[in-house]
Chain A
């Protein structure tokens, strides 16, 4: 897994990584330095994650994206030069990404991720999927979990964003806690007056812990038809759905026409709607075709909610404005949280967020929530 040969930190690395080594320690930095990461999707969110991981000092980062640079994406992403229109997004991002930290091996891959064989993913310690379809995410997650590869997903829709992580059934990590200094009569180690037990902030101890994660597939199969879930559903406001359920669509939505299925989980709305849009149109809602797209979005919303027996007022009329494109500051927030989760998982240090993070840029609230088996 993580290569053990290079356990010596060079002077250059020590100087450059000084401020973060002082935070997460040398061991964590070494683990990062032995990790290879795959990043799929180089839009706004992808660029943020790339920056964060490259600066953190991973061994290698592969940028995978089959799309081309459009005029709009020049404005949305800080790694792509303005002259790069028509080029592949990953390729165009490569140079600036590499400049962020020459000590990281940054590569660009222009293939469609759907066409990658299973064994492609096995060369990485962590895989991060941004802007991907549900099916792909489920497939990659399932494959990676088998091989103890950490999986992360994330997306940004206007003012909202989310991330999901699957660190496997047994993710081991450490937490550093301050050591309580017990007084010894003769051997006072921190000073002649150490008579009472002191928490010395400079002396710490590492506590080993384990966390267990479920797959994305299972996380999405939450059964909301039981009474407990239903009552929690009632208590949660619409914003919760908009915010929290960006990924929690359910299989039936693909069989949207057959709305009689009983085994279905209660669908979530906006994200459900968005992902349905993505499935139908093969792209995301686009500002240029705003009017037409907005109409379609509202139509889908009505259909979905009607299938649920819920009022279409549950999703406010202007929800459409939240669905268009990525907002830079939202990418920064979600990319920051997501980037740090990858760092934590690779360095095996500090409790990971389990298993979703939802960000509402309108309210400035960021919530960690768990969906999966109890």
Chain B
């Protein structure tokens, strides 16, 4: 008889390696709290956890290691303290920091037997993916949104890496839609956020709010040489007078749009608002009844008032901060949220859309993903089970597991699927990654190459770029200040042209990418570059068939895939939720996500909106 020694439910060898190995948990939020609890109760002894965020009251419905008294404190730190209370022998190191800090280099990652992600944004996931590839450490990736969740395992050379499959690209609304012809509430909300930045925050050329005369639909050839004054300067010149702002934004500018009559041939024309007229109307005293105050929809007059009040408050805050100050929009900052609610609703009214409550606007403007404890609990349980397989040397038993809201036609609520092998031409994990980028060499700035292409699109943190011109000319150096002079020059200034090749290194990520440049003069409007091979807005549709490799013991695995257009059979990898709210750090959020979740179906589509 085989003698099987057990520690709890685990074989002794496995139990032993649990107590000696080191693991890293990236994130101490929804998944992170559940994960830390599971990791510790399962018997892991040496754990490091990192999270840059601090605790907010809205976390308390699921991040159970935190209590109300901890609001404002570091998540990683409090998580560690709470866990130690029920497992004092655990050896936990907590970092209140960003995992993208260069301190956490490949050597740091090599200390761990495995890494478990508990993140909520793609940027960090891309980065950890690369670090784990560079260090050749297994990574367990996961995500949740509402009732849905997913876990998968990434092992260099064996499985797909996080970036092997193209993810849905950012959905940016064209400038003219935001500025001239909004047709959905989200357009108005984006406009309102742009307006906030133009008036109180960092002005961005990509966030114009005034009518766009260059709209191809408008056929305006000459705008009468209107002198362009920045919105902020103009507002300052009026002393941020709410009535003047109101009349410009919601009357004058709308009247201007009306002169571009081609726009309104097939669309309902907008109706300008007049401040004085709406002053006459009394604000309807909404019967709160038993609903949430925020879920009420006020009338136009109500939003006029709200606009005026919030402009005054924000102006005051701006003045208070001193010269050259800027405010950063934050959904949890009441006047900032009030402002967007009011401005967006007024614009919706003008463009004949049903106005929305503050509650709904906050969801959309703040990219809030609804979240509950149980989904995170299930996913975190699955993460540890995958971890045990890895530790036992059973990586081949690892799976991608999807959590559905309802069972699929094969009765499965939790659906394990075989892991896919690496993609041969993945621009991250292929042996010599290479991409081709189409852009206009005469119009693309070196800075744009660095920020929009290398960092945003290709996920690098600190790129170094050399031109393969036989001279090894350095175009961009990750050392601060070294190549700053190049930033405002165009690529063509460095003799970069059609067919040029750039060698891009990110030494932190131990990642080298060869970029082939194709010069193109006629890219689409608002498009600065195109990656060849990227289908526009391509969203992966992964069917939930069990795959040929899953040994589920069922001999009739030749059953056809259950994927169809039916809601319950497909599921996107949940890989991006709202970027973690950054309360104290020098990092700036780069990407935000619209709430594209349709919580009423099984499938989750997450689209990014760059704002």
CB distance from B394 to the nearest CB of A (A): 10
B353 within 8 A of A: yes
Residue of B nearest to A341 (CB): B374
Per the bound structure, the CA–CA distance linking A143 and B539 in Å amounts to: 51
Is A325's CB under 8 angstroms from B8's CB? Answer: yes
A317 within 8 A of B: yes
Residue of B nearest to A321 (CB): B4
Per the bound structure, the CA–CA distance linking A294 and B6 in Å amounts to: 11
Stretch from A73-81, A147-155, A224-232, A245-253 that touches the partner: A73-81
Q: Using A23-B371, A82-B86 as known contacts, say yes or no to A322 and B9 having CB atoms under 8 A apart.
A: yes
Contact among A188, A191, A326, A337 for B378, CB-based, below 8 A:
A337
A197 within 8 A of B: no
**Cβ contacts B529-563/A at 8 Å (1 or 0 each):** 00000000000000000000000111110000000
Chain B contacts with A in 1-31, Cβ cutoff 8 A: 2-11
Per the bound structure, the CA–CA distance linking A348 and B382 in Å amounts to: 28
Residue of A nearest to B292 (CB): A14
Is B413's CB under 8 angstroms from A353's CB? Answer: yes
B600 within 8 A of A: yes
Is A325's CB under 8 angstroms from B368's CB? Answer: no
CB distance from A26 to the nearest CB of B (A): 6
B111 within 8 A of A: no
Is B374's CB under 8 angstroms from A18's CB? Answer: no
Chain A contacts with B in 43-69, Cβ cutoff 8 A: 44, 48, 51-52, 55-57
B268 within 8 A of A: yes
Is A51's CB under 8 angstroms from B64's CB? Answer: yes
Is B87's CB under 8 angstroms from A75's CB? Answer: yes
Residue of B nearest to A191 (CB): B183
Per the bound structure, the CA–CA distance linking A191 and B40 in Å amounts to: 52
Is A52's CB under 8 angstroms from B373's CB? Answer: yes
Task: Give the number of residues in B that approach A within 8 Å (Cβ atoms).
Answer: 93
Is B600's CB under 8 angstroms from A364's CB? Answer: no
B93 within 8 A of A: no
Is A56's CB under 8 angstroms from B384's CB? Answer: no
Is A23's CB under 8 angstroms from B382's CB? Answer: no
A19 within 8 A of B: yes
Residue of B nearest to A240 (CB): B553
- Which chain B residues lie closer than 8 Å to A123 at the CB level? none
B37 within 8 A of A: yes
A324 within 8 A of B: yes
Is B352's CB under 8 angstroms from A19's CB? Answer: no
- Which chain A residues lie closer than 8 Å to B407 at the CB level? 353, 367-368
Is A7's CB under 8 angstroms from B290's CB? Answer: yes
Residue of A nearest to B43 (CB): A75
Q: Using A23-B147, A100-B64, A177-B600 as known contacts, say yes or no to A365 and B182 having CB atoms under 8 A apart.
A: no
**Cβ contacts B86-107/A at 8 Å (1 or 0 each):** 1110000000000000000000
CB distance from A19 to the nearest CB of B (A): 5
Is A192's CB under 8 angstroms from B378's CB? Answer: no
Contact among B268, B371, B384, B600 for A176, CB-based, below 8 A:
B600
B525 within 8 A of A: no
Is A366's CB under 8 angstroms from B60's CB? Answer: no
Is B381's CB under 8 angstroms from A55's CB? Answer: no
**Cβ contacts A182-197/B at 8 Å (1 or 0 each):** 0000001111111000
Is A329's CB under 8 angstroms from B86's CB? Answer: no
Is B61's CB under 8 angstroms from A52's CB? Answer: no
Is A328's CB under 8 angstroms from B41's CB? Answer: yes
Is A365's CB under 8 angstroms from B368's CB? Answer: no
Is B413's CB under 8 angstroms from A357's CB? Answer: yes
A8 within 8 A of B: yes
Is A190's CB under 8 angstroms from B353's CB? Answer: yes
Per the bound structure, the CA–CA distance linking A7 and B374 in Å amounts to: 25
Is B8's CB under 8 angstroms from A364's CB? Answer: no
A373 within 8 A of B: no
Is B62's CB under 8 angstroms from A19's CB? Answer: yes
**Cβ contacts A326-353/B at 8 Å (1 or 0 each):** 1111111101110110010000001101
B42 within 8 A of A: yes
Per the bound structure, the CA–CA distance linking A191 and B388 in Å amounts to: 52
A86 within 8 A of B: no
Is A320's CB under 8 angstroms from B4's CB? Answer: yes
A114 within 8 A of B: no
- Which chain B residues lie closer than 8 Å to A158 at the CB level? 9
- Which chain A residues lie closer than 8 Å to B60 at the CB level? 16, 101
Is B552's CB under 8 angstroms from A363's CB? Answer: yes
- Which chain B residues lie closer than 8 Å to A80 at the CB level? 86
Q: Using A192-B267, A368-B411 as known contacts, say yes or no to A333 and B61 having CB atoms under 8 A apart.
A: no
CB distance from B3 to the nearest CB of A (A): 8
CB distance from A313 to the nearest CB of B (A): 15
Per the bound structure, the CA–CA distance linking A135 and B359 in Å amounts to: 49
**Cβ contacts A79-112/B at 8 Å (1 or 0 each):** 1111000000000000010011110000000000
Residue of A nearest to B182 (CB): A191
Q: Using A237-B553, A365-B415 as known contacts, say yes or no to A190 and B184 having CB atoms under 8 A apart.
A: yes
- Which chain B residues lie closer than 8 Å to A79 at the CB level? 86
Residue of B nearest to A368 (CB): B407
Per the bound structure, the CA–CA distance linking A323 and B249 in Å amounts to: 69
Is B370's CB under 8 angstroms from A23's CB? Answer: yes
Chain B contacts with A in 446-464, Cβ cutoff 8 A: none
Chain A contacts with B in 151-192, Cβ cutoff 8 A: 158-159, 176-178, 188-192
CB distance from A191 to the nearest CB of B (A): 4
Chain B contacts with A in 350-387, Cβ cutoff 8 A: 351-354, 356, 359-360, 363, 368-378, 380-386
- Which chain B residues lie closer than 8 Å to A56 at the CB level? 61, 372-374
A361 within 8 A of B: yes
| Among B2, B147, B184, B411: residue with most chain A CB under 10 A | B411
Is B9's CB under 8 angstroms from A329's CB? Answer: no
- Which chain B residues lie closer than 8 Å to A102 at the CB level? 68
Q: Using A159-B9, A188-B268 as known contacts, say yes or no to A329 and B38 having CB atoms under 8 A apart.
A: yes
- Which chain B residues lie closer than 8 Å to A176 at the CB level? 600
| Among A48, A318, A331, A366: residue with most chain B CB under 10 A | A366
Is B416's CB under 8 angstroms from A336's CB? Answer: no
B185 within 8 A of A: yes
A20 within 8 A of B: yes
Is A81's CB under 8 angstroms from B291's CB? Answer: no
A287 within 8 A of B: yes
Q: Using A23-B146, A51-B373, A366-B413 as known contacts, say yes or no to A191 and B7 having CB atoms under 8 A apart.
A: no
Is B85's CB under 8 angstroms from A22's CB? Answer: no
- Which chain B residues lie closer than 8 Å to A326 at the CB level? 9
Per the bound structure, the CA–CA distance linking A134 and B17 in Å amounts to: 37
- Which chain B residues lie closer than 8 Å to A81 at the CB level? 85-86
A211 within 8 A of B: no
Is A366's CB under 8 angstroms from B412's CB? Answer: yes
Chain B contacts with A in 184-218, Cβ cutoff 8 A: 184-185
Is A193's CB under 8 angstroms from B413's CB? Answer: no
29 A–B contact pairs at CB < 8 A?
A: A8-B290, A14-B292, A16-B60, A21-B292, A23-B372, A23-B599, A52-B373, A52-B374, A77-B86, A78-B41, A78-B87, A80-B86, A82-B86, A82-B87, A82-B88, A102-B68, A191-B182, A191-B185, A191-B351, A192-B183, A318-B4, A327-B42, A328-B384, A329-B382, A333-B385, A333-B414, A340-B147, A365-B415, A367-B413
Interface residues of B (CB under 8 A from A): 2-11, 34, 37-38, 40-43, 57-58, 60-62, 64, 67-68, 85-88, 146-147, 182-185, 267-270, 290-295, 351-354, 356, 359-360, 363, 368-378, 380-386, 388, 399, 401, 403, 405-407, 411-416, 552-556, 598-601
4 nearest A-B residue pairs (beta carbon): A366-B414, A192-B268, A332-B381, A23-B370
Known: A290-B5, A340-B372, A366-B414. 13 other contacts (CB 8 A): A15-B57, A19-B61, A22-B359, A51-B64, A55-B61, A76-B41, A79-B86, A81-B85, A176-B600, A191-B184, A193-B268, A318-B4, A321-B9
Interface residues of A (CB under 8 A from B): 7-9, 14-24, 26, 30, 44, 48, 51-52, 55-57, 74-82, 96, 99-102, 158-159, 176-178, 188-194, 201-202, 204, 235, 237-239, 287, 290-291, 294, 317-318, 320-322, 324-333, 335-337, 339-340, 343, 350-351, 353, 357, 359, 361, 363-369
